Chain A
């Protein structure tokens, strides 16, 4: 399960103009002039622990929250809010590792997953979380007619049954060790059965609300406007009780508005994506703290057609070698990204870290090598050929990526044509085969839902992958991925995934551009939120609190 970054596509031309006019920050005052760092371990997934409680804060998302129904959530605003309100069966830690959440997951054999609820979890209304609630929530998520986006997660599930008040047993058709990861985020969120049944289709809307067990509960919320969450004072997990009294989740689509919000104290925190005014905020050290952490997200070029020049793996390799990624990273991410040695971001190493690190160290740094690229072009006899890139000039990151590919192409004699669309139509490249007609590739920022490179590769390289647009099928990759899915031991599983990852870098079903970092901005009075991508799948807001030197 991976998703497209909609935040980028949602930016409009106007916003770009606005930001350009606002760029009054002294250039280069704080941004590092050196190229992106290549060490992956330098990034901390956490921020200093808070020393006290805080009152009401305002948290910005790139647009207002549409729904708080977990099975309909996949984009930044919804996930950010639902991870605040709800608990999943398994829990993602800031470093991406997955541990027990509401329940402990065990595998007595390869084809059985036993979900055992902890003692003590209660919903906001005080009722205990039971196996009936778990079963209701899982079945709802798995039901193709349930209106949710996650049925595919359950394709290997044969049956789910309640085996005691605290236990749900899942029988699998084939071994599936990816299911544990999925149950650490939206499909694993447990809702109260009685409440859910009484609300029906209205569940998760402003009218229907929600009944979860998380550290915050819904305060007030009107359709299409700010959602107010208040601390759940009776949170079952006392050690993880929230230290912030109230959070207003406000949609702030405009970069300059977000920036002035931070500078005036109107906004207290956000996990922004590709914020163009980041240097200005970084310079305002007395007002805001900007933190960088590991992310699940990869910036890459989707190869959507293997029928044209890019059908030849040598041309893909040549193009990849010709890209000046250092300049691109500096330009778009102001240094907040790493050179991608694998397609998956190092932030996705939620298990088998040593294995993945060793693999990363072994991989060459993807620096520009025009001599080798030209040689490959010659071998492929592809000089003078043309490829077409889908792009939009209305979203800066996407336009810059397309231009980076064009200059790479120019340098090796590959002509790169653009098929430019409006920002709001960019998503059609992902969803509409007609939009992809005659297009060889297009830029994207894409991420899995939990820390596992396999969760990302899965959608791209597997023959039935949702983002495998032109039947890319490599026997070695497919086998390594299938082996990983049915391997229980994390280190061994990591080996298979790393193997697939190595082959992916060689075959390049997508061309990686950057392993981007998570950016967290908070008012200097707040600290404690993870600086990593967990805000999309695991608890984060309950970790926030006041800094020692706060008011």
Chain B
């Protein structure tokens, strides 16, 4: 276990280092100047330009800026200053991380509960229910989240008035109420995929020899399902659930924009538009970290589910 944690931590650090360099470098190469975005193209006196350039360290060579930035990030947990928001990147992230986290968690919960639940149901019960689930999931799997957002908004918010159209709400209950439509929009297509994968996994396990043997030996149905079908089906299902939930982190930008949520994704889009490199960099790193952590979690789950997967093993 210790070796596993150490290796994973090393991988996280390496991933962060590489991605920070890549992001920093690509932003540096991208055309456009953050100052001109800031000043809206107006001509400033040379002193004013020099002053602003110095303030935001825009004239230092690339490597100097990168090392400076990295040093501040590691030593002082300082990710730089946002040009557009005139504040520290850490404060921008802190103000917004909660919304994105709750949105992704909510959507993840929906995927696990409904995606896996309906998949198992559909896998075990052949018939009209199964056909219905298969048909509806094939449609839903193809619906991009921004389309889902628009449809949900116009039905449940504008026409029925059941849910608010924008904002993330204050306090737990209000937050849940505000985030329900965004979470469904975000989870919908992933949920449909999880249903289908779960269904196939359950079906496959049901057809396996050891399950047939268990049936013929008269092992009680619920026990047989729990021990022999679900446990084994859980392995591919975990993989898919893990991947889909981590992908939600990146997809959240679309949904946050559609519902005007003050989340990280929306800030990332806004920052990219205003060439606010420090914020793009900071939020990207948060996303990379979250991605790596989610993957670690999935790997740990594997080891619990499948004794054949040793925690220290290299194969991933």
Q: Give me the interface of A with B, judged by CB distance under 8 Å.
A: 1, 3-4, 6, 9-10, 12, 14-15, 17-18, 21-22, 24, 63-64, 66-67, 69, 72, 74-75, 144-149, 151-152, 204-207, 222-226, 250-254, 256-258, 260-261, 263-264, 266-267, 423-425, 427-428, 430-432, 435, 466-467
Contact = CB atoms under 8 A, between A and B. Distances in A.
A3 B40 CA distance: 7
Contact of B257 (A3, A14, A435): A14
29 contacts: A4-B41, A9-B273, A14-B146, A14-B257, A18-B150, A22-B150, A67-B86, A147-B55, A149-B44, A204-B86, A223-B88, A224-B85, A225-B95, A251-B270, A254-B258, A257-B153, A257-B165, A261-B166, A264-B157, A264-B165, A266-B167, A428-B32, A428-B33, A431-B41, A432-B31, A432-B33, A466-B42, A466-B43, A467-B41
A63 B95 CA distance: 16
Interface string B17-45: 00000000000000111001101111111
B236 interface: no
B257 A250 contact: no
Contacts of A144: 44-48, 51
Given A226-B262, A250-B166, 7 more contacts: A144-B48, A223-B92, A223-B95, A224-B92, A225-B96, A424-B274, A431-B32
Given A223-B82, A254-B260, A466-B43, A424 B36 contact: no
B269 A12 contact: yes
Contacts of A12: 269, 273
A250 B273 contact: no
Given A147-B48, A224-B96, A250-B167, A3 B262 contact: no
Contacts of B92: 223-224
Nearest to A15: B257
B262 A427 contact: no
Contacts of A431: 32-33, 36-37, 41
A152 B48 CA distance: 11
B161 interface: yes
Nearest to B30: A425
Contacts of B149: 18
A534 B276 CA distance: 29
B259 A257 contact: yes
A431 B37 CA distance: 8
B180 to A, nearest CB: 14
A21 B150 contact: yes
**7 tightest A-B CB contacts, nearest first:** A431-B36, A430-B41, A223-B87, A144-B47, A260-B165, A466-B43, A144-B45
B196 interface: no
A256 B258 contact: yes
Given A151-B48, A205-B86, A261-B260, A435 B31 contact: yes
A12 B265 CA distance: 14
B87 A224 contact: yes
A252 B260 contact: yes
A253 B48 contact: no
B136 interface: no
B47 A18 contact: no
A74 B157 contact: no
Given A222-B95, A427-B36, A428-B31, A1 B87 contact: no
A253 B167 CA distance: 13
Contacts of B86: 66-67, 69, 72, 204-205
B95 A427 contact: no
A474 B296 CA distance: 68
A465 to B, nearest CB: 9
Given A147-B52, A224-B96, A252-B260, A14 B254 contact: yes
B58 to A, nearest CB: 14
Nearest to A202: B86
B40 A4 contact: yes
Contacts of B96: 224-225
B72 interface: no
A428 B39 CA distance: 12
A263 B163 CA distance: 12
Contact of A252 (B55, B91, B166): B166
B164 interface: yes
Nearest to A155: B45
Contact of B95 (A6, A224, A467): A224
A427 B260 contact: no
A64 B273 contact: no
Nearest to A434: B31
B149 to A, nearest CB: 8
Interface string B140-178: 000000110110011001100100111100000000000
Most A CB contacts (10 A, CB to CB) among B42, B85, B146, B154 go to B42
B214 interface: no
Contacts of B166: 250, 252, 257, 260-261, 266-267
A325 B153 CA distance: 35
B92 to A, nearest CB: 5
Contact of A251 (B31, B39, B260, B275): B260
A302 B30 CA distance: 25
A425 B36 CA distance: 11
B101 interface: no
Interface string B84-117: 1111100110011000000000000000000000
B267 interface: yes
Contact of B36 (A72, A257, A428): A428
B272 interface: yes
A425 B31 contact: yes
Contact of B267 (A224, A260, A423): A224
Nearest to A423: B273
A222 B153 CA distance: 27
A456 to B, nearest CB: 13
Contact of B51 (A10, A147, A251, A467): A147
B247 to A, nearest CB: 17
A72 B44 CA distance: 12
Nearest to A66: B84
Nearest to A69: B86
A63 B31 CA distance: 22
Most A CB contacts (10 A, CB to CB) among B85, B95, B262 go to B85
A75 B46 CA distance: 22
A17 B273 contact: no
Contacts of A435: 31
Given A63-B270, A224-B87, A224-B96, A3 B41 contact: yes
A145 B259 contact: no
A145 B47 contact: yes
B40 A256 contact: no
Given A260-B154, A432-B36, A10 B48 contact: no
A148 B157 CA distance: 42
Contact of B44 (A3, A22, A151, A257): A151
